[in-house]
Amino acid sequence: MYKHPRPKNAQMIYGIRPVIEAINEHKDIDKVLLQKGAGSDSFRELFQLIRENHIPFQYVPLERLNRLTGGNHQGVICFMSMISYQSIYDIIPLIYEQGKTPLLLFLDKITDVRNMGAIARTAECAGVDALIFPLKNSALLNEDAIKTSAGALHKIPVCRHDNVSEALSYIKECGIRIVGCTEKADKNYYDCDYNMPLCLIMGNEGEGISNEILGFCDDKVRIPMQGKIESLNVSVASGIVLFEAVKQRLLL
């Protein structure tokens, strides 16, 4: 009989009370699986906590939960994060206090874990001050992502936010220019000034940067393509633009 592969996370916990305690202790949680149709008072208490804390969740059949563990899961399985997430609201003041010119990287709906890992590795090598991405529709930072990042995901601040509009508005309020890398741009990436406080936005390979996120951009740049394939892998594209920023800042 086919079994769903167990997600590669540092720790899986199950049972209503252990998951409630993990949330109340502000543990970093990647995702919670909930049994369809469950509705006890304690289950409703847990669900309220999940919603209040903006934790990703998914309703699944009982059979899937049983395949993941033989323990008494009570209709709940929780996957703990392998990394500690930070808040961009805390990170930006620290960057300025250190006398640095912020260089941030925002990843819009990057869902491939290996792309996430590769981008994080490049970002750390380029001196990026923080990696930012939405809580929903983003890859889980599991073993594969951390391995592909060569450990960079443990070295670079990683910020995961539920309300990306508020996060991007805060970034702009802090005097940081937002630049989107998109094929819809007219300006080539090397014609942009990267010496100012900057947040670079990269979108997924299928849809690019969403229209909502594009609306926050102060500038848009593209990587000129010479071949027949219309786009690069997002991790490669990130490296090209980030190291243009490195080059310009080193030459300043």
CA distance 146 to 129: 18
How crowded is residue 35: how many other Cβ atoms within 10 Å of its Cβ? 20
Query: How far is CA 135 from each of CA 51, 93, 184, rounded to the nearest angstrom?
Result: 13, 22, 25
Amino acid letter, 216 = F
CATH number of 88-251: 3.40.1280.10
Say if CB 237 and CB 181 are below 8 A apart.
yes
Check: CATH 3.30.1330.30 for 11-80? yes
CA distance 219 to 205: 20
**Domain residue ranges in the chain:** 11-80, 88-251
Could you tell me which of 228, 105, 217 has the C-alpha nearest to residue 156? 105
Question: How many CA atoms does the CB half-sphere of 227 hold within 13 Å?
Answer: 4
In the three-class reduction of DSSP (H, G, I as helix; E, B as strand; rest coil), residue 226 is classed as coil
Q: What is the pLDDT along the chain (252 residues), one digit of tens a residue?
A: 333 344 444 488 999 999 999 999 888 888 899 999 887 889 999 999 999 988 889 999 999 999 998 889 999 999 988 888 999 999 999 999 999 999 999 999 999 999 999 999 999 999 999 999 998 888 888 888 999 999 999 999 999 998 999 999 999 999 999 999 998 899 999 999 999 999 999 998 888 999 999 999 999 999 999 888 888 999 999 999 999 999 999 997
Would you say the C-alpha torsion 190, 193, 195, 197 has a positive or negative sign? Answer: negative
